[in-house]
Structure formats: C-alpha cells, structure tokens
Amino acid sequence: MKSYSIAEIAATVNGIIEGNQDLIISGPEQIEDAKQGQVTFIGSKKYAHLWETSQASAVIVTEGIAITCTDGKAIIKVKNADLAMSEVLDLYAPALPQFDTAIHPTAVVDATATIGEGCNIGANCFIGKNVRIGKNVNIYPNVVVFDDTTIGDGTTIWSGTIIRERTVIGVHCIIHNNVSLGADGFGFRPSPDGRGLVKITHIGNVVIGNYVEIGANTCIDRAKFSSTIVGDGCKIDNLVQIGHNSKMGRSCIMAGSSGLAGSVTLGDGVVVGGGACISDHVTLGNGVQVGGQSGVINNFEAGKKILGYPAVESRDALKQWVVLRKLAKES
C-alpha cells in the first residue's frame, strides 16, 4: 500500500493540521483498530472519546468536535470527516483487476454488436445480437449481455451479472457481482379451471440511469408494460429486489435486503432502510425516509419519516411502541 505525508493527506481533504506535521501515514483504519502510522476518522461526537485510547497517529475530525492533540500525533480538521474519509480511501485504493487483452479469446461477441473504443470484455462473456456498448466499458469475466441491450460510456459490470434483452444502462454505472437485470416480473393469475396458475408475460424492459451503483445479487425485474426505471444517481445495496414497473427517482438509496413490489413509485432522494418492504402500487414522495424492517402499505407525502409494520409516521410509531411497553408491564 502507498504511503503519504500528513501534509499530502491534509491537502487532499482541504483540512487544517494541528500537531505533528512530519508524519508519514501508511493507510487508513477505523478508530478502534488503527495502529501507529495510520490515520482514522471521527465524524460524530459520540466517537470522540475513542481518540483518547486510539493508537492511530492521526485523525481526521469534523470541525466542532472537541478532541486534543497528544504528543507526536496529528489532527486534521475538516468540514465533513465522512466525505474526507472517502477522499482518503481513494488515495489508498488498490488498482482494479487488469485485462490482459481488450476482448478475451473465449468471449463470444455477436457480429452485430457494437463495441466502443477502450472497452474490455473478460473471459467467457457473452454479448448478444445488436448490443451497443459505449466507450471505456469494463465487463469482467462470465457476464452475459442479451440482445438489444445498451450500455453507456464508462460503466463497469462485474462477474456473474446477467443482463436480459432490451435493457438500457446509462453512463458511469457500477454493477456488482451476480446482479440480474431484466428477468421476468413476478406475475401469475389463477387459471380458469382452478388447477394452476397462468403466467403473465412481461414485454417491457429495465432502464438504469446514469451514475447508478447496484450491489451484488440484486434483482431488478423488467416491466409488464413500458419500463422498470432506476433514476440517475441511485445507490442500491446488495440483495435488493425491485419489482416490475417500479420507478425510482433520482439519487434514491436502498439498503440491503429491502424490496419494492410491483409498480412502486419513489420520488427523488428516497431512503429505504435495510430489510424494509414497499407494497405494490405505493407512492413515496421526494425525500421520504423508510426505517429498517418497515412494511409500507400506504402512500406518504414528501419529506415524511416512517417506521414500523405497517409503517406510519415515525412520531406516531414511537408513541405506539411506548404504549405497547406500558401495556406489557401492566399485564
């Protein structure tokens, strides 16, 4: 791993140094595990006390959090330690796996596919008919891209991903391992004779916006009609399910194991906590925050914070929990 001077790190994060300005930093680490020669981070007052016993040589701290600089150590004060951490991690990030050839000999690329300049396609990939891939796209080994799919410039697709036909992916997206894009939506109806289920054909597609990141093992199903849409800048964690015809606005966040049923609509900036589920045809306005493990069955206006099962506004949920605790003690 690379090493940087404390002055170089301070310049990277636009911070002000206090204390030892001659340190060489070998890498970043969380505050409980940091060793001498490493830098750590404090972005909240509740972690400030950990600095007293930390072995880290330096700390990057949000302005206004009061900590002292002991002998031989350094403090770098910044406006936002969490954002500064991202910049420091970029400094120390190891190189991504490299491609020995632009298109591996074992990759199967249909003659009708269009591949832009600077693309890399790894071993055992399959690129189907009429696929259009923009410039500087990296597709790691064992990825399948079916017919009539479009992939924008600068996108990275990691191994094991399967992209079904007619999917549209924007520029500078990151799609992690084993993602499924464009599989059939989950649609069945009882058969007329009562002896089984009739499969509902889904003829739409999936449209992924620009600068979207999709975590490993996430599934986004294609629409019954038109498109399942993930808006620009959305960040989706691992093991997330997005059902057919759902529409996510810009810069939404979905944490791990959360899910959208069919035809859910999320406004811009909606945050869905881990394990939360949104029922079909529900609409959440801009900036709604859904607490982890919640079950949402009703629409909510912009800016609401909701919790519980079924989900209600957070203040109401907390009142309900207080009442339930009192009832439990009285019983």
Active site (catalytic) residues? 244
Q: Residues with Cβ < 8 Å from 323, sequence gap 6 or more? A: none
Q: 148-171: b or e for each residue (b if 16 or more CB lie within 10 Å)?
A: bbbbbbbbbbbbbbbbbbbbbbbb
* CB 117 within 8 Å of CB 138: no
For tokens 């924008």, name the residue. 152
32 vs 30: CA distance, rounded Å: 6
65 vs 61: CA distance, rounded Å: 7
94 vs 11: CA distance, rounded Å: 21
For tokens 């170089």, name the residue. 8
For tokens 């891939």, name the residue. 133
18 vs 69: CA distance, rounded Å: 7
Within 33-191, strands assigned E span 38-42, 58-62, 74-78, 108-109, 114-115, 120-121, 126-127, 132-133, 138-139, 144-145, 150-151, 156-157, 162-163, 168-169, 174-175, 180-183, 188-190
Q: Residues with Cβ < 8 Å from 139, sequence gap 6 or more? A: 119, 120, 121, 122, 125, 127, 133, 145, 157
For tokens 């079924």, name the residue. 310
Residue type, 327: L
